[in-house]
Structures are given as structure tokens and as C-alpha cells.
């Protein structure tokens, strides 16, 4: 594939980013683009490695290794190297409905399992993927493609996040009439309100794809919560099949003393309100009354994942006075350790965009490792004023991870805003209970990966509602898979991949 000696001739080069201190003044996307010649050179680095692991999409040690939607990565790398951009786009769309989303927000497990990455920097797969799809939009190659014939079957998709949109796109392609129900006021689910605009532009990227799906015949209904605004009985009566893609939206809480104080919020409430406020103002509407502001506040983010990073970046754009991000685990090593070999996802220290911005603003990585919150303390008006913590050590006792406290390590942190970004514990109950869908041990909708059928005939589940909190790329995998099985269930056979 590509140029046999390319990996020897060219070093890894990723797209530049806007200056951190410049970009924190707005919510515009901060990634810049590589020139075509540079992208071709990056594609040339893809090796003829015999057994490519980049598109395997397997779980190793609890983490994704390779692309979960099995993108044909060596093939589109080769086509980019040869300047065959339209052919590269066709190859990319064979497996991925939304490369403009994954090219921006996926953590790129494909690069973590790139064969070249064993002893050299991996191929810049993510940058190449994004460049292919954006070239497709710029050239006018990506246009609505409604199905030639309709089956007359009607399918309801509940939830418009990445799994719901992927399921809708595939089922519409098969000729079914698809209706997508979203309880928020805009379509996109996590893509719209869970990921900040500077990582994924809502109007120019998310809405662009929603408009495309709409032009292809997918029907979208906002402000409709199934089980509340629309009864599950009516849903079952009006549709031949139902696909549940409502996500895992119950946040993990921190039940420490003082939790009831004003100024402690779940991360998604903070991020959702910020994006809604931004979009409403741009649309000429009144500012969102529920906005949680970090302006002139000492902010502490509890949780070290992508959501925590998004809270850091958003707080900086609000104009926070300071920001710290707490993680209970130790700082990762700078290089892979013996128990984290290739092609596993590399568990190594790195700074994401939010940490880079905080470092530029305040002079250091905002993360504090091996720290646990003991209690919140407020003022006489019930407002949060400080956070009390203790240092911990991570130890394994009888195979279980424990975090004993370090004596004498107590600290007090000024804080007027705390954002809880500690992950999610499963889907909300109302709709699943009303449908009578069986749940698994983690409270998710019980359905096998590969069949996606729940315990209720004609009801399928995909994405985080089925597998629990996961990556956007896994959601697309599941939405596509559920669409295939719905089509098979309705028609007796399927041509969907």
C-alpha cells in the first residue's frame, strides 16, 4: 500500500492548531488543515505491513484496539497518496457514515494499533480521514442520495446521537421510512450538546449532516421525549420496528458531605447549557437562562476523561479565575510499559486541547493525580467556597483496585464551581420500563452485540444505551449493526453491511 519506502522518507506530521491563548477567546474550531502535498506524504507513510491491525476493531484489555467500524485504512491512505480523493471518499463511506465526526472527536484507536507505531510515530490516520471527507464536501461530491424505492415499512429511532443517526442513515438507505425522535430542541444528541463547539462545530458540521439526512428522507422530530410526550404504546402502534439509541445519560455522582451546596453541577449540565446558549445567541434568540458560568470563578473539574477536558476548555473560554482537574489514578507513564504492549491502546501521558490551553493560560497542566475529594464547604448563604481533598495511593488487594488515603495529605482548594465529570452509570429508566425491555447487570438495555434485539419483539437497542458509556465510533458501529438486523427482521434478508 502507498509508497513502499514512504515510512522511511517522511516523518509524522499532524495538522497545526490555533494558538491556545488566541482560541480560548472564542468557541470556533481550533484545528487547522494540512496542505494536499503534505497529506499525500502522510498517506505514503502507510506500510505494506501484511497484517494491518489499524482496522481490526477488537477489544483488548478493556480498550478498543483498531477502528471499531473497520475503516479500510490502508486502502484510503494509498488512494490519498495517489491523489485519488474521490475514490478515497467512496472507500471511507463504505464503513463510516460520518467521518466528519470521527475525524474530529475520535481518540483514534486506529493509530494506537498502527504497525508503524511499534517503533516509530504512527501514521496520521485521523487527519487523513478528516481531510478526505472535507474534500468531499468542498468538491460537491457529497450530496443527498435518497433511496430509489421505498419498502413502505416505518421505523422509529429514539435518540439522535451518533448511534441513532447511523441507524437512521442505514435504514433509510434500505428504503424504509425512518422517523427520529429527540427530546432536546436540536438534533444530534451527544454530537450537538455533549461535545463543545470548538471540537465539533454544530452548524457547519453537525447540522450539515442532519440536513443531508433530511434531504434523503429521514424525518426528525425534536422536543419529543418517548414515554412522556409520546407514549410507548403509540410508538409501537405506529411503527413496524423501534431502535432505542437514547444513550447512557445517568451521571455518576459524588456523595461527599456538602454535595447539596450551590455551585456543584454535573458536567453535562454545564456543557449542554453552554452550547445551547452559544447556538441560541447565534440564532438571534435570547441567551439561555440556564447557563452555568465559570467567569471569574475558581473551577475544579472532578474526572479526567474527555468530558473533564471539555469542562476545562469551556471554563477557560468563560474566563475562569483558575482551573484544576482531579484524577484519582496515578499519572500515566511517558512511554508504554510492559503490561501495555502494542497493539493495545497506549495508556501514556499526553495533554489534550483543554490541558494545553490551561497550561498556556496558567503555566501548568491543570491535572492533579491521586487525589480524592473528602467534602465540600460553603458559606453562610449555601454557596460553595472550598473543596477539601486527601492524597491517595492506588493498590490492588485480592485483584481489586483500592485507593487508601495518605495520612497528613489533606489540602483545601478554593472553589466556587465544581463540575462532576466522572462518567455515566447507564440509561434512564422511564422508557425502558414502560417498554418492558430487560436490562443487563449494568442496567443497560439487554441485547447481544451482533443481533441488537431486546427482549421485546420488534424493539432493538444500540449505542451507549446497550453497551454503556463508550466512544462515538462504537456508537456508529452499533447503529449500523442495529440497522442491518432491523432490516433483516423486517424483510427476511438484508444487503446492509
Q: Which residues contact 408 (CB under 8 A, 6 or more apart)?
A: none
Instruction: Give residue 365's pLDDT.
Output: 98
For domain 264-420, the CATH architecture is 3-Layer(bba) Sandwich (3.50)
Instruction: Give residue 1's pLDDT.
Output: 62
Percent of the chain past pLDDT 90, that is, above it, reads 96
How is domain 154-249+425-491 classified at the CATH fold level? Answer: FAD/NAD(P)-binding domain (3.50.50)
Q: Taking Cα atoms as reference points, which of 486, 471, 420 lies closest to residue 64?
A: 471
Instruction: Give residue 62's pLDDT.
Output: 87
**pLDDT of 313-364, one tens digit each?**
999 999 999 999 999 999 999 999 999 999 999 999 999 999 999 999 999 9
Mean pLDDT value of segment 430-439: 97
pLDDT band at 147 (very low <50, low <70, confident <90, very high): very high
pTM of the entire predicted model: 0.96
Mean pLDDT value of segment 290-311: 97
Mean pLDDT value of segment 17-29: 97
Judge whether 157 and 235 are in contact, CB under 8 Å.
no
DSSP 153-203: -EEEEE--SHHHHHHHHHHHHTT-EEEEE-SSSSTTTIIIIIS-TTTS-II
Tell me the three cell numbers of residue 369: 493525580
d(CA 374, CA 413): 11
Q: Where are the domains positioned within the chain? A: 6-139, 154-249+425-491, 264-420
CA atoms 349, 351, 355, 359: torsion sign: positive
Judge whether 176 and 216 are in contact, CB under 8 Å.
no
**pLDDT of 63-89, one tens digit each?**
899 999 999 999 999 999 999 999 999
Is the pLDDT assigned to residue 2 strictly greater than 90? no
Q: Which residues contact 247 (CB under 8 A, 6 or more apart)?
A: 159, 161, 163, 189, 190, 427, 463, 464, 465
d(CA 59, CA 139): 37
Same fold: 6-139 with 154-249+425-491? no
CA atoms within 13 A on the CB side of 77: 31
Which position has the grid cell 472535507?
A: 134
Mean pLDDT value of segment 264-283: 97
When the pLDDT of each residue in the chain is averaged and rounded to a whole number, the result is 96
How is domain 6-139 classified at the CATH fold level? Answer: Fumarate Reductase Iron-sulfur Protein; Chain B, domain 2 (1.10.1060)
Amino acid at each position: 500500500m502507498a509508497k513502499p519506502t514512504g515510512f522511511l522518507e517522511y516523518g509524522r506530521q499532524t495538522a497545526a492548531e490555533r494558538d491556545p491563548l488566541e482560541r480560548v477567546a472564542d468557541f470556533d474550531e481550533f484545528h487547522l488543515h494540512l496542505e494536499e502535498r503534505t497529506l499525500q506524504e502522510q498517506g505514503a507513510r502507510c506500510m505494506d505491513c501484511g497484517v494491518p491491525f489499524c482496522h481490526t476493531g477488537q477489544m483488548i484489555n478493556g480498550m478498543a484496539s483498531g477502528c471499531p467500524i473497520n475503516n479500510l485504512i490502508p486502502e484510503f491512505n494509498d488512494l490519498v497518496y495517489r491523489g485519488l480523493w474521490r475514490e478515497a471518499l467512496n472507500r471511507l463511506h463504505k464503513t463510516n457514515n460520518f467521518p466528519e465526526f470521527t475525524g474530529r472527536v475520535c481518540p483514534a484507536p486506529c493509530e494506537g494499533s498502527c504497525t508503524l507505531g511499534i517503533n516509530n510515530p504512527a501514521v496520521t490516520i485521523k487527519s487523513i480521514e478528516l481531510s478526505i471527507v472535507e474534500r468531499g464536501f468542498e468538491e460537491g461530491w457529497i450530496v443527498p442520495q435518497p433511496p430509489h424505492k421505498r419498502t413502505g415499512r416505518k421505523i422509529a429511532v429514539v435518540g439522535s446521537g451518533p448511534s441513532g443517526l447511523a441507524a437512521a442513515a442505514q435504514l433509510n438507505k434500505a428504503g424504509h421510512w425512518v422517523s427520529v425522535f429527540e427530546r432536546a430542541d436540536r438534533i444530534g444528541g451527544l454530537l450537538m450538546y455533549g461535545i463543545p463547539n470548538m471540537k465539533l462545530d454544530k452548524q457547519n458540521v453537525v447540522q450539515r449532516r442532519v440536513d443531508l439526512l433530511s434531504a434523503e428522507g429521514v424525518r426528525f422530530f425534536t422536543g419529543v421525549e418517548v414515554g412522556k410526550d409520546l407514549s410507548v404504546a403509540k410508538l409501537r402502534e405506529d411503527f413496524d420496528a423501534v431502535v432505542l439509541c437514547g444513550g447512557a445519560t445517568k451521571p455518576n455522582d459524588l456523595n461527599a458531605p456538602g454535595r447539596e451546596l450551590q455551585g456543584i453541577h454535573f458536567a453535562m449540565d454545564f456543557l449542554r447549557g453552554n452550547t445551547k446558549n452559544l447556538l441560541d445567541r447565534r440564532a438571534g434568540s435570547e441567551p439561555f437562562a440556564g447557563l452555568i458560568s465559570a467567569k471569574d470563578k475558581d473551577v475544579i473539574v472532578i474526572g479526567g476523561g474527555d468530558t473533564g477536558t471539555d469542562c476545562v476548555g469551556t471554563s477557560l473560554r468563560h474566563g475562569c479565575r483558575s482551573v484544576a482537574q482531579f484524577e484519582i489514578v496515578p499519572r500515566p507513564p511517558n512511554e508504554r510499559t510492559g503490561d501495555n504492549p502494542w497493539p493495545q491502546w497506549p495508556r501514556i501521558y499526553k495533554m489534550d486541547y483543554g490541558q494545553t490551553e490551561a497550561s498556556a493560560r496558567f503555566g501548568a497542566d491543570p491535572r492533579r493525580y491521586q487525589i480524592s475529594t473528602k467534602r465540600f464547604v460553603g458559606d453562610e448563604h449555601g454557596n460553595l467556597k472550598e473543596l477539601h481533598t486527601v492524597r491517595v495511593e492506588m493498590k490492588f488487594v485480592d485483584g481489586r483496585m483500592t485507593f487508601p488515603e495518605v495520612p497528613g495529605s489533606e489540602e483545601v482548594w478554593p472553589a466556587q464551581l465544581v463540575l462532576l465529570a466522572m462518567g455515566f452509570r447507564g440509561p434512564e429508566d422511564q422508557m425502558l420500563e414502560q417498554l418492558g425491555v430487560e436490562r443487563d447487570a449494568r442496567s443497560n438495555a439487554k441485547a447481544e452485540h451482533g443481533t441488537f434485539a431486546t427482549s421485546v419483539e420488534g424493539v432493538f437497542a444500540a449505542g451507549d444505551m446497550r453497551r454503556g458509556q463508550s466512544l462515538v465510533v462504537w456508537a456508529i458501529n452499533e447503529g449500523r449493526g442495529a440497522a442491518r438486523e432491523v432490516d433483516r427482521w423486517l424483510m427476511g434478508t438484508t444487503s446492509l453491511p
